[in-house]
Amino acid sequence: MLHRPETFSDILQLESHGPDTFVGLSPKYSWGRIYGGQVVAQALWAALKTVKGVFAPHSLHAYFIRGGSLNEPVRYEVDRLRDGSSFCTRSVVARQSGGAILNLSCSFQVIEKDAEVQTARMPLAPEPEECRVQEDDSWPSIMERRPLNSYPGAGQSMGWVRLTDSLGEDPRLHVCGLAFTSDAIQFNAARSIHPLQVSRDEYREKFMGASLDHSMWFHRPTRSDVWHLFQWDCHGLTGARGMTVGNLFAANGAHIATIAQEVLLRERR
């Protein structure tokens, strides 16, 4: 029987299985497959294990290839594509017995001091404590979400997210934590512009949904075990796919990351 992780720190307990190869486990998710943000976070952590501590991730690009099974471990195979003096690049393939479930590329940079300019502005939003708590939320207790209402036709979604266990001071843990939380709010932006509007309870009966690909650009460090705000815009629906682009802000308004994800939003016929 698998020993399922109960905290985010548990999720990052990857076991070494030979050179640049690591194995991770998953908590149980009510929808029956591994949460995409978890696979991205574990793949990024596997890549971080192969780079020197002076490097920090500045971007990642991932394709979700197939749904991950909750009933077996995930094997992360890291390929050291390049090691430079300022930048290094890694590729990670996540595999299970049925084949690859995720392909991730990530780039790391030695932290440099240079011009510091922010043009993105944090939107007005109620404080997390003022937002509704979803009593029937199907997410494990590893992550706490406070989504804001996304009205029909809005094409936008926002929400506060944080990890529930304290991660200490290692910035590498927190950037993986942000990757974990980044796959949790964007669907409502796409759902809100679909011609077929259904209640939250009816959604799984009427639609098949999944994350298809996922990109993040990291601008500034922050903690993932405190509240941070995601703001998403859907740029349109076509071919049962929705294009969402988002910004991540710290509670003090600092622009932490830019995110893009294409989601599958297919009507069941």
Respond yes or no: is residue 183 known to be catalytic.
yes
- Secondary structure in 3-state letters for the chain: CCCCCCCHHHHCCCEECCCCEEEECCCCCCCCCCCHHHHHHHHHHHHHCCCCCCEEEEEEEEEECCCCCCCCCEEEEEEEEEECCCEEEEEEEEEECCEEEEEEEEEEEECCCCCCCCCCCCCCCCCHHHCCCCCCCCCCCCEEEEECCCCCCCCEEEEEEEECCCCCCCHHHHHHHHHHHCCCCCHHHHHCCCCCCCCCCCHHHHEEEEEEEEEEEECCCCCCCCCEEEEEEEEEEECCEEEEEEEEEECCCCEEEEEEEEEEEEECC
Q: Which of the following is catalytic: 105, 157, 183, 186? A: 183
83 annotated active-site = no
Q: Which of 42, 186, 211, 231 is catalytic?
A: 211
Q: Which residues make Cβ contacts (< 8 Å) with residue 147, sequence separation at least 6?
A: 131, 132, 134, 157, 158, 159, 185, 188
Is 107 a residue of the active site?
no
Of 26, 96, 157, 261, the active-site residue reads 261
Active site residues: 183, 211, 261
